[in-house]
C-alpha cells in the first residue's frame, strides 16, 4: 500500500510508454508498468521500490482484470490510467486485409476499452482518478495510408469524449493526448505492419510512402521524454485538459482541422438550415 499517486501504464515495454513510466517514477509516483512481455518491460523501465511490472495484453479482457487486481493488491489504489499500448497497420484501404483492419481496431480501440473497463470500478470506489488515452493527430484528421489507424483513433476520440460526462460525477477526469511526430519506435518493423501490395494502381504510391516513412524513422522532431514529463505535469492538475495537442505540429493540425470544419459548416449554411418541417400550413 502507498500514499503516493499510482500510475497504471499500458505498453510500457518500448516507445512512449517507457518514457511515461520513467517520468512518473521520477516525479515521485508509484507505477504499474504493463506489457505483453514482462522481461521487456523490466529491461526498459528498470527497477524501483515503487514499480510493479505486470503482464498485460490489452486485447485480452481477462489480462486487464488480472493486472488491475495485481495493482490494487500491491498499492491499494489506481490514480492515473494511461492507455498507451498500440501498433500501426499501414496501407491503402483496399490492400489492408479485413483481418488486419480488425486487428488494428482490436488493439487501438478495444484495447483501451478493456483496460478502462477494468480500472473504472476502482476509481469509482475512490471517487477520484484520471483516465489518459494516447490518441494521435490521426484521430483528428484522416489521410491516405492511414485508414485502419485513423478509424481506430477516431473511435478513441468519440469514446473518450462520451465517457467524460459519464464518469465526471464520480470525481473521475479524462484526457485525450494527440501527439504529432515523435521519435519513438512506431515506424520500426516491430510496431508498423505494411499491407502487402496487391493492386498495381497503388504500387508506385505505396513504394514512395514506405520509403518516405522508413526514412523518417529516428528523425521525427518530437522528444518523447519531454512529452512524458509534460504529461506528468498536466496529470497533476486539479482540472487536467480534456484534450492536449502534443507538439507544435499537432497544434497546427488541430487548428487546420477546426478551420476546415468551420468552412464546411458555412459552405452550405442556407441549404443545411432549410431542412426543418414547415408546420405553418398545418
Q: Select which of 5, 89, 136, 149 is catalytic.
A: 149
Residue 149 annotated among the catalytic residues of the structure: yes
Q: Select which of 5, 153, 202, 229 is catalytic.
A: 153
101: three-class secondary structure by DSSP: helix
Could you tell me the CATH number of the domain that includes residue 198? 3.40.50.720
Tell me the pLDDT band of 212, cut-offs 50, 70 and 90: confident
Check whether 162 has a pLDDT greater than 80: yes
- Name the most confidently modeled range: 111-115, 193-197, 218-222: 111-115
Tell me the pLDDT band of 211, cut-offs 50, 70 and 90: confident
Strand partners, 244: 177
Across residues 154-167, what is the average pLDDT?
A: 98
- What is the distance between the alpha carbons of residues 253 and 245, in angstroms, rounded to a whole number? 9
Judging by beta carbons within 10 Å of its beta carbon (0-12, 13-18, 19+), is residue 156 exposed, middle or buried? buried
Tell me the pLDDT band of 217, cut-offs 50, 70 and 90: low
- What is the distance between the alpha carbons of residues 37 and 136, in angstroms, rounded to a whole number? 24
Is 281 contained in some domain? no
Q: What is the number of helices (H) and of strands (E) in the chain?
A: 10, 9
Is 177 contained in some domain? yes
Q: What is the mean pLDDT of the chain?
A: 92
Q: What is the pLDDT of residues 4-39, one digit of tens each?
A: 999 999 999 988 899 999 999 999 999 999 999 999
The x, y and z cell numbers of residue 130, run together, are: 484520471
Q: How confident is the model at residue 60, as a pLDDT?
A: 98
Is 250 contained in some domain? yes
The Cβ-side half-sphere exposure at 71, using a 13 Å CA radius, reads: 31
- What is the distance between the alpha carbons of residues 271 and 254, in angstroms, rounded to a whole number? 27
CA angle 73, 76, 80 (to 5 degrees): 110
The model carries a pTM of 0.92
The answer to whether 254 touches 245, Cβ cutoff 8 Å, is: yes
Q: Are strands 51-55 and 30-35 parallel, antiparallel or unpaired?
A: parallel
- What is the distance between the alpha carbons of residues 172 and 224, in angstroms, rounded to a whole number? 26
Q: Select which of 135, 136, 194, 229 is catalytic.
A: 135
Across residues 26-53, what is the average pLDDT?
A: 97
Q: How confident is the model at residue 213, as a pLDDT?
A: 72
> In total, how many domains does the chain have?
1
Check whether 1 has a pLDDT greater than 90: no
The x, y and z cell numbers of residue 255, run together, are: 487548428
Residue 135 annotated among the catalytic residues of the structure: yes
Check whether 281 has a pLDDT greater than 70: no
Residue 4 annotated among the catalytic residues of the structure: no
Q: How confident is the model at residue 188, as a pLDDT?
A: 56
Q: How confident is the model at residue 15, as a pLDDT?
A: 87
Question: Structural domain of residue 152, as residue ranges?
Answer: 6-272
Amino acid at each position: 500500500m502507498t500514499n503516493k499517486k499510482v500510475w497504471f501504464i499500458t505498453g510500457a515495454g518500448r516507445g512512449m510508454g517507457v518514457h511515461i513510466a520513467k517520468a512518473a517514477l521520477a516525479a515521485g509516483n508509484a507505477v504499474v508498468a504493463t506489457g505483453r512481455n514482462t522481461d521487456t518491460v523490466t529491461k526498459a523501465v528498470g527497477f524501483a521500490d515503487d514499480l510493479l511490472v505486470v503482464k498485460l495484453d490489452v486485447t485480452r479482457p481477462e489480462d486487464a482484470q488480472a493486472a488491475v487486481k495485481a495493482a490494487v493488491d500491491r498499492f491499494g489504489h489506481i490514480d492515473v490510467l494511461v492507455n498507451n499500448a498500440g501498433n500501426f497497420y499501414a496501407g491503402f484501404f483496399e490492400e489492408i486485409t479485413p483481418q488486419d483492419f480488425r486487428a488494428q481496431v482490436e488493439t487501438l480501440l478495444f484495447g483501451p476499452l478493456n483496460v478502462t473497463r477494468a480500472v473504472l470500478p476502482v476509481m469509482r470506489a475512490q471517487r477520484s482518478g484520471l483516465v489518459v488515452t494516447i490518441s494521435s493527430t490521426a484521430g483528428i484528421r484522416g489521410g491516405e495510408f492511414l485508414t485502419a489507424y485513423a478509424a481506430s483513433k477516431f473511435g478513441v476520440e468519440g469514446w473518450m469524449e462520451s465517457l467524460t460526462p459519464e464518469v465526471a460525477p464520480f470525481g473521475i477526469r479524462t484526457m485525450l493526448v494527440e501527439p504529432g511526430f515523435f521519435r519513438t519506435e512506431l515506424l520500426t518493423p516491430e510496431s508498423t505492419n505494411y499491407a502487402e501490395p496487391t493492386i498495381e494502381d497503388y504500387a508506385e504510391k505505396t513504394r514512395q510512402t514506405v520509403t518516405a516513412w522508413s526514412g523518417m524513422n529516428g528523425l521525427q522532431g518530437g522528444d518523447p521524454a519531454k512529452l512524458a514529463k509534460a504529461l506528468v505535469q498536466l496529470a497533476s492538475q486539479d482540472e487536467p485538459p480534456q484534450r492536449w495537442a502534443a507538439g507544435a505540429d499537432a497544434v497546427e493540425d488541430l487548428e487546420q482541422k477546426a478551420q476546415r470544419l468551420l468552412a464546411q459548416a458555412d459552405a452550405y449554411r442556407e441549404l443545411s438550415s432549410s431542412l426543418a418541417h414547415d408546420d405553418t400550413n398545418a
